[in-house]
């Protein structure tokens, strides 16, 4: 009898601790005035591929956003996170020309750790998204390059 | 039978590993992988032409980490190719257009970056998963 009660208690505990929560979204920059690259490569002012020595890193781009979803992260409240304004502002402030090596980092946030409540499909989940990159400026050699 | 306290102890241990599974990648390639509509380059508006003859380049990375109280052995899962293989994928697409146009006029472009993160607690196991996804295509930059 005692072991049955213990088993039931354990099963109830495990059930209460089951669940899933999180969020999904898409980062976009539809109104960016500057080119942004996920790699080391970048095009110059004359739309030529720049060599490493033709650009210099002048600052670091950093932005944090939160994505929200519900129904076990299947229904996003924030399907798009627009970075355009932030990118335009940070590059202008650094007097840069572009961003290279853009990288993203995502992790679940606090609401995802409410055991029991995450069993409910209507429980909202969230994800903390960090975006980093290197703001670069074209060197003079790139600026004065002859257009092809 | 495992004591319920062991379960909480397992979760506590798992939480200390919250840094695991976080995704942070840039693509180690010498050619540009541009995001967005590419409105401006060098302060001037740019028009691009999407090359519909090449297939869409899907770049995805998903990683997970977790712990089950029954085993107390953490697991890590990298289910998709890492970024180190992405240049190969993209070089393949560049190769597909070789001979049809100067390759230097092409770049890879993606409209958006998909991101997400989840926490799972099921049957005594905890897991977290994070992912990102780029769907790119070769575009020809007009001058």
Domain boundaries, chain A: 19-143
Confidence of residue A52 (pLDDT cuts 50, 70, 90): confident
Residues 64-83 of chain A with CB under 8 A from chain B are: 67, 73, 80
Residue from B46, B115, B137, B142 whose CB has the most chain A CBs within 10 Å, to mutate: B115
Q: In B, which residues are within 8 Å of A46 by CB distance?
A: 42
Residue B143: closest C-alpha in chain A:
A47
- Residue-wise pLDDT tens digits, B49-75: 776 666 677 766 666 666 666 666 666
Please state, rounded to an integer, the average pLDDT across all residues of chain A: 85
Number of independent structural domains in chain B:
1
Q: What is the mean pLDDT of residues A43-65?
A: 89
pLDDT at residue B17 tops 60: no
pLDDT value of residue A61 = 97
**Cα-Cα-Cα-Cα dihedral sign, residues B78, B93, B116, A60:** positive
Contact A21, A123 (CB under 8 A): yes
Q: What are phi and psi of B140, to 5 degrees?
A: -100, 125
Q: So what's the pLDDT on residue B65?
A: 66
Rounded to an integer, what distance in angstroms lies between the CA atom of residue A115 and that of residue A119?
Answer: 8
Angular region, A20: left φ>0, alpha ψ -120 to 50, beta rest: beta
pLDDT at A148: 39
Number of alpha carbons in the 13 Å side-chain half-sphere of residue A8 = 5
DSSP three-state, residue A38: coil
Spell A85-100 as b/e; 16+ CB within 10 A means b.
Answer: ebbeebbeebebbbbb
| CA separation for the pair B119, A56 (Å, rounded) | 40
Q: What is the CATH number of domain A19-143?
A: 3.30.110.70
> What string of DSSP letters covers A63-74?
EEEEEEEETTTT
pLDDT at A115 over 90: no
- How many beta-carbon pairs under 8 angstroms link A with B? 192
Beta-sheet pairing, B48-50 with B125-141 = antiparallel
More confident residue, B46 or B1: B46
List pLDDT tens digits, range B98-138.
666 566 677 888 888 888 888 877 766 777 777 777 777 77
CB contact set of A55 (below 8 Å; sequence gap of 6+): A42, A44, A97, A98, A100, A136, A137, A138, A139, A142
Taking 50 as the threshold, does the pLDDT of residue B35 lie above it?
Answer: yes
Q: What is the mean pLDDT of chain B?
A: 67
């Amino acid at each position: 009898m005692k072991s049955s009660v213990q088993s039931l208690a354990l099963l109830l505990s495990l059930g209460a601790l089951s669940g899933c929560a999180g969020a999904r979204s898409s980062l976009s920059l539809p109104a960016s005035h500057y080119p942004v690259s996920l790699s080391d490569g970048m095009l110059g002012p004359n739309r030529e591929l720049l060599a490493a020595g033709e650009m210099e890193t002048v600052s670091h781009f950093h932005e944090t956003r939160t994505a929200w979803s519900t129904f076990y992260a299947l229904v996003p409240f924030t399907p798009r996170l627009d970075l355009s304004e932030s990118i335009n502002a940070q590059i202008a402030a650094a007097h840069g020309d572009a961003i290279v090596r853009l990288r993203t980092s995502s992790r679940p946030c606090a609401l995802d750790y409410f055991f029991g409540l995450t069993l409910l499909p209507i429980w909202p989940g969230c994800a903390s998204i960090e975006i980093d990159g290197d703001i670069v400026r074209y060197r003079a050699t790139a600026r004065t390059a002859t257009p092809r | 039978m495992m004591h319920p306290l062991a379960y909480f102890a397992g979760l506590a241990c798992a939480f200390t590993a919250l840094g695991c599974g976080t995704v942070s990648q840039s693509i180690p390639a010498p050619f540009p992988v541009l995001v967005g509509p590419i409105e401006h380059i060098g302060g001037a508006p740019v028009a691009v032409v999407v090359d519909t003859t090449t297939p869409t380049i899907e770049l995805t990375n998903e990683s997970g980490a977790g712990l089950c109280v029954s085993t107390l052995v953490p697991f890590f899962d990298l289910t998709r190719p890492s970024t180190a293989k992405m240049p190969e994928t993209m070089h393949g697409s560049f190769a597909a257009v070789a001979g049809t146009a100067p390759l230097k006029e092409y770049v890879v472009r993606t409209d958006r970056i998909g991101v997400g993160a989840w926490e799972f607690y099921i049957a005594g196991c905890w897991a977290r998963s994070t992912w990102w996804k780029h769907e790119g295509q070769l575009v020809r930059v007009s001058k």
